[in-house]
Structures are given as structure tokens and as C-alpha cells.
Structure 1
Amino acid sequence: MLSPRPVHVVVLTVFLAAACWPSNAYAGDGTVVCDAKGVCHIIAEDTVTTPGRPGQHAAAENGAGARPKCADSLQGNAEVPCQLDGFGSWVNGRNCYFQPATPQPPAGDPAWEGHDAGDGAVYDAYCPDNPNMTSDYFAQPPDGAAAAVDPQTLAVQAVRDMTLLGPDIGIAPEPGGRGVIGMPVWMWANDTPHAWGPVVESASAGDVTVIATAKVTRVVWSMGDGTQVVCAGRGTAYKAAFGKKDSPDCGYRYALPSAMEPSGKYHVTATSTWTIAWQGGGQTGQLTELRDSAVDLDVAEVQVLNSR
């Protein structure tokens, strides 16, 4: 009597053929190959028929084949990566990767599905089995997706929500007046909240909240004649009592008249460096933003009249 011969069945479902990496398949010694986006649909599964027990997996008899932690139920419970950079975390049952949308859609956007903005969150979705699904609303973070919240991404969102302005320029001589070559020019930044700081903003997704605090740490003055002056602080506001003294911390003297410029004036630009410290989600970090403002300054030569 002939013994039943083992039957080998190979199941292949191909979505993409790209640079891939393998992981173990569910129920068997097969292999799942995933592309860079997590499409894990090349399944090679050896199914061995055991005499007297048709359809029984040999691997299952040995106790193997436990369901993987993250599995695509639409593809035979094929194992998929639980995390994908740029796409978030896999949610079993929904068969998609989710991560909080950054920034969140504005109030009234259809993505909120009729809910008030901020009541829950909208998540970007990447679904290998359903490419038409690109987002979904959740009142609470879906299982596994909360871990996909990137605090630094929230910090960037908080900065985008800030009103950060260029320096509120103070300068002597005043714009509209006239300076003289060789005489001191005083520059300073007025202490205006959104032009100097601190400015505080927060951003949240799921149960993660990041708080960012922005302050100006230096101002670079481009004087219009090719010279730059770097000032670490706001500078000192000029008062008539100072007379012809130089600024103690942020000043300049022109060597040539502005009449040599096409506009007849020096275009003075002040560029502030905003340093933003953030913390949240168990992390801390620092970001930088630049803002500028400008004024035009008339600088003339001293006219000396000689009489005999």
C-alpha cells in the first residue's frame, strides 16, 4: 500500500515587487516580504498534509504557527511590521497604519466626520488593502497608533501656530530723519511680545502634548552698505542725553553717504533668530526660526563752508 505523498501548496499574492525585507508568516514556515511602505502580500506558505489528518499543518502539530502580533487579516493573517517610519503604527482588524495628521485639519473639514475640531483626532491612514482610504477619525487613539505620535512633529506644529515677527526696530537717527557719516548710529529691538518673546504654544495628538517656548536670542543688522552688526541682546534705546556717544551694545558708524545708493538711502534689515525650546511626550528639543524687518536710513555728508 502506498503512503500518501506530501502535498506542497504555494500561495502568492503580489501587490508590489520592490526592495523588500522578510518576516515570518502566520501558520507555517512561509515568508512574508514587505516593501518600504509595509505592503506584506507576498506569502509563500508550505502546507504539508499529514497521513490520516487531511489539511493539518505539520508546523501546527509542533506548536508553531501562533498568530503574529501585527497581522493582515485580509491576507491570511500575514505578519506585517508593527511600525513603519513615516506611516505610523499597524492596527489589527483595521488592516492599516495610522498616525496623527500633522497639522490637524481645520474646523469643518469633512475629515472630522461632523465632530468638533480637537474632539478626538484625525489620523493619516496607509492601508495596503485599501489604497483609497487615506484618513480616519478617532475619538480615542486606535490600538497601537498612540505610539506613532512623534513629539518633534508636534513641536513643529506648535511653532507653525505661533505668531513670530521680525524685530520691532528702534534706530537713531530715526527713519525719515537724516544721519551724518562718522556719527554714531544706535540700533535696538523694542520689547514687543511677538517680536521678542517669550511666545508659548502647544500642540496635541492622542494623549501626547508638546509645549514650545520661543525667544529671540540674537539680532543681525545688515546696514545696507555691505556691513553686518551682530547684537546678542535687544540693544539700548537712544536718549537725547547720550549725545554723540556710541551705543554700548549695538551701534554703527557709516563711512560713506547713502546718496551713493540707487535709492539714495541705506536699506537696513534686522534679522532675529528665534530659539524655540520644546518638551513633551518624554522628549525635549530645540528648533530655530528666522524673521526680519527693515527700515530705510538717510545718511549725508557734513557740509563745511569756508569763508574768507
Structure 2
Amino acid sequence: MLKWTSAVVASVLLCGASPAFAGPWGNVDCSQAPAPVCDLGVGNNERPHEAWDTGRPSSTDQSSSDAEDPYVGCSYKPVDYQAPDGQPQEPGGWFMVLCSPDGKDPLSHGPVWVPSGGVRPTLSPEQVAEMARNRLLLPSVTISASPADEQLVSLPTWLWLSGGWEEVSASASVRGVSVTAVAKPMSVTWSMGDGGSVTCAGPGTPFAPGHRDPRSASPDCGYTYRTSSAGQGTDAYKVTVTVTWAVTWAGAGQGGTFPNLTTSASSAFRVAESQGIATG
């Protein structure tokens, strides 16, 4: 059982001994040596959707059960469909375009009319942009904080990301239509576990041991606890970090935006009571 005292608590590392520790007021990288009091959650670095690659093309004839598109990895499935304004007079058939086995991928659409022996309809720039978005690989979030030991009530805590704040892009091309999607980190919200939170416009400034007063506040991303974490699960606050990404696309003389994406990670901060700060 953790015992809290009214004096500054002796050094008990959140993340164990690691190269990131540099004395009582140094840095701690909570992804380098996870421990019961430094439980780092991995950010979401998976693609929002995975394209279904069905391989090489086959016939576009309506009798084909799975006519594959060589350009986008989507398949054409024949369907019975009666157009509201009447059936086309030319030979051909109606197809659903399926870009995942279950047809739930955002690129799936239809029905579309495909003339017999004709060229399958190409995708619009917006649909190609969706492909590019699906290829975005967002980086995992890495949490860092100072003090390196337990946080202290009434002492400013410096917060920053040492990973997970870099712009990423991905491209897709279909029949001469090339589009690039870009994901740019816009803000990071820290939920501090005590009911409080702080939103920062950037990744935060790392604390520089020996160059800053440990009682000073971060210039751009920090928090001050007012109550200790004694009595919480593992006697620590669960801290959750969420990065919000703005996603845009451009290509084929057009451009647009997608709904924001997010990545997240979590850690545990112990917060102790103190009546004074020993600096010497």
C-alpha cells in the first residue's frame, strides 16, 4: 500500500530506470519501460479501412459472377435492377461495385450500367480520394511528462508528445486520376484522470533539466493537480491523450476534406501531497 507523506516524496520512478530519466526533475518517456504505474496504451495506427485486392481482371460480361477491376481492386457483381427511367437499349447489364467482401467499404457503390464489351466506369476523384484516405497510416502516440517521478499537488506538470505528432500522407491513382490525402495533427486533449482536462494546439514543449525552474509552468501544454491520487486504482490517475487529425485531399484539379481522425494513448500518473519543494 502506498503511503503518502507531507514532504516531497523520494524518487520512485513511474516508468522504472530508463535513459529518459535525468534526476528528480528530469524527463520520463512512458513508452520506454512500461510498469504498473506507467501503463501506456498504443495509439491507433491502423488504416480506417482496408482495400480489398481481388487480383487480375476477368470478363465484364453479365454472366461473370465476379468480374474484377484491375485498377482499384474492386469487383463487379451482376444484379437484377430496373432503372426508374427505363432500361438502356444497348446490350449490357447492371452491376454493383464491391470494394470489400461484404460491400460495406465506402468505395462500394451501384448499381451501375456496364455495356457489353464496354469500358467499366471509372471512379470519381472523390472516390479515389477515399482510397488514399484508407491508406493513411497514423503514428502511435507517445506520452511524456515532467516531473519524472510522482506528480505533486500544486506543482505544474509539463506535458508533451515525444511521438505521434507528424503530418502523414498517402496517394492513390486510377486511370490517370491521382489523388493525395494528407492527415495533419491539429490538437491534443489530455484527460488528466481527476476530472480535469487540457487541450493543447501543439505537441507541447519538453522539459529541459538544468535549464528551467522545476516550479515553472509549461509555456504551451501543462496541468496542475489540486488533489492527490491516493485511493484511486493503483493509487494513480489514468491519463488519456487524444490527438485530433484534420484530413484533406487534392488531385485531378479538385480537393476536399474528410471527417477528422483521432489517435490515442493512456498512462497512469501518481500525484502526491507536498508542503514544500526541495530544489537544492
Kindly report which structure 2 residues correspond to 1:180-191, keeping only aligned pairs within 5 A, or say none.
Answer: 180-190=152-162
Q: What is the TM-score with the length of structure 2 in the denominator? A: 0.58
Tell me the distance in 2 between the aligned counterparts of 1:242 and 1:277: 39
Q: Which runs of 5+ in 1 are unaligned?
A: 1-36, 44-70, 78-91, 106-121, 130-137
Given that 1:165 and 1:292 are in contact with CA atoms closer than 8 Å, whether structure 2 keeps it comes out as no
Tell me the distance in 1 between the aligned counterparts of 2:240 and 2:108: 42
Q: Which structure has the bigger radius of gyration?
A: 1
Equivalence for 1:291 = 263
Kindly report which structure 2 residues correspond to 1:1-308, keeping only aligned pairs within 5 A, or say none.
Answer: 39-40=82-83, 72=88, 77=89, 92-97=90-95, 99=97, 101-102=98-99, 126=111, 143=119, 145-146=121-122, 149-174=123-148, 177-190=149-162, 192=163, 195-240=164-209, 241-243=211-213, 244-287=215-258, 288-302=260-274
Following superposition, the deviation at residue 276 of structure 1 comes to: 1.6
Supply the RMSD in Å over aligned alpha carbons. Answer: 3.3
Given that 1:173 and 1:186 are in contact with CA atoms closer than 8 Å, whether structure 2 keeps it comes out as yes
Tell me the distance in 1 between the aligned counterparts of 2:229 and 2:108: 56
Tell me the distance in 1 between the aligned counterparts of 2:154 and 2:83: 73
Tell me the distance in 2 between the aligned counterparts of 1:94 and 1:292: 49
Following superposition, the deviation at residue 39 of structure 1 comes to: 1.0
Residue deviations 1:9-35 (CA, integer Å, cap 9, x gap) = xxxxxxxxxxxxxxxxxxxxxxxxxxx
Tell me the distance in 1 between the aligned counterparts of 2:256 and 2:245: 14
Q: Which runs of 5+ in 2 are unaligned?
A: 1-79
Following superposition, the deviation at residue 256 of structure 1 comes to: 0.2
Following superposition, the deviation at residue 266 of structure 1 comes to: 1.0
How many correspondences in the alignment? 188
Given that 1:219 and 1:232 are in contact with CA atoms closer than 8 Å, whether structure 2 keeps it comes out as yes
Given that 1:166 and 1:270 are in contact with CA atoms closer than 8 Å, whether structure 2 keeps it comes out as no
Residue deviations 1:278-301 (CA, integer Å, cap 9, x gap) = 112332112210110111111101
Q: What is the TM-score with the length of structure 1 in the denominator? A: 0.53
Greater relative contact order (CA < 8 Å, ≥ 6 in sequence) = 2
Following superposition, the deviation at residue 171 of structure 1 comes to: 1.0
Residue deviations 1:157-198 (CA, integer Å, cap 9, x gap) = 322222213432221123xx21210001001112x4xx2222
